[in-house]
Amino acid sequence: MPDHGNVQQNTASVEQRVDAIEAVMQDRGMEPKVFIDQFKHLAEEDWVPQNGARVVAKAWTDPEFKKRLLANGRAAVTELGLSMPAHHRHLVVLENKPELQNVIVCTLCSCTAFSIIGLPPDWYKDLEYRARVVRQSRTVLKEMGLDLPPSVDIRVWDTTANTRYMVLPVQPSHTIGWSEEKLAEIVTKDSMIGVAHL
C-alpha cells in the first residue's frame, strides 16, 4: 500500500477526535455535554431579541427610563431583569432620529450585545458586511432594503469586546399610544442593529 494510504488510515476522523477530547475532559471532571446543553438553552431561550424589544418599548413609553438607558445601558436593562456577561462592560444605546441612522458592526469578528438583542445574524458575521458597511454604508443599507434619503446622516459604530451597542429605533408614528407589550411585538433584531426601520 502506498504511503499516503497509511497516513489516511492513521488519521482519526472528526468524530474520533471529538470523542477523544470529551473522554479527556470527563477524566478531569469536566462535563462538555452539560456545558453544550446549557449553552444551547441560553442561545435558544434566553439570548433572544425579545429582550431588546422590551427595552425599546419601555424607552418609548417611559422618558425617565430612556434617560437612564442612554446614560448607562448596562445598568438600565437590569431594571427589566436583564443582564449581560461580565466581559460586556458597557452597553451603549444609540438613539436614532428621523435625520440620523445609527448602524452597528463588529469589523473584527461578530460581537453584539447578544444577551439583549439576540445572537448575531449570519450576514452580520460575513466579511462583506463587516468591510463594506464602514466604507459604503448608504449603499449597503440600500441593498439590505433600507433606502435612506441623502438628508439622513448615517453613523457606523464598531463594536469591541468591552463595549456593546444597541440601536434605539424611531417609534413609528402610527404606534403612539400603544401599550408597552404591543410595542415590544413590532421591534426586530435588525432594527436594533440599525439596518432596518420599523
Spatial distance between the Cα atoms of 170 and 56, rounded to a whole number of angstroms: 9
Among 83, 106, 173, 179, the active-site one is 106
> Smaller CB distance to Fe ion: residue 16 or 160?
160
Interstrand relation of 100-105 and 90-95 (parallel, antiparallel or unpaired):
unpaired
Q: Quote the least distance from Cβ 198 to Fe ion, whole Å.
A: 26
Between 111 and 168, name the residue whose CB sits nearer to Fe ion.
111
Residues near Fe ion, by CB under 5 A? 106, 109-111
Complex with Fe ion: residue 101 or 159, whichever CB lies closer: 159
* Catalytic member of 13, 83, 109, 115: 109
Least distance to Fe ion from the beta carbon of 27, Å? 33
Known catalytic residue: 109?
yes
Q: What is the chain's length?
A: 198
Instruction: List the one residue out of 43, 45, 49 whose CA is nearest residue 188.
Output: 49
Catalytic (active site) residue 110: yes
Q: Which is nearer to Fe ion, 100 or 108 (CB)?
A: 108
C-alpha cell at 137: 454604508
The nearest distance, CB 159 to Fe ion, in angstroms, is 6
Chain centroid, CA 36 distance in Å: 20
Least Cβ distance, residue 158 to Fe ion (angstroms): 9
- Close Cβ partners of 140 (under 8 Å, ≥ 6 residues apart): 129, 132, 133
Distance CA 146, CA 186 (A): 17
Residues forming the active site: 106, 109-111
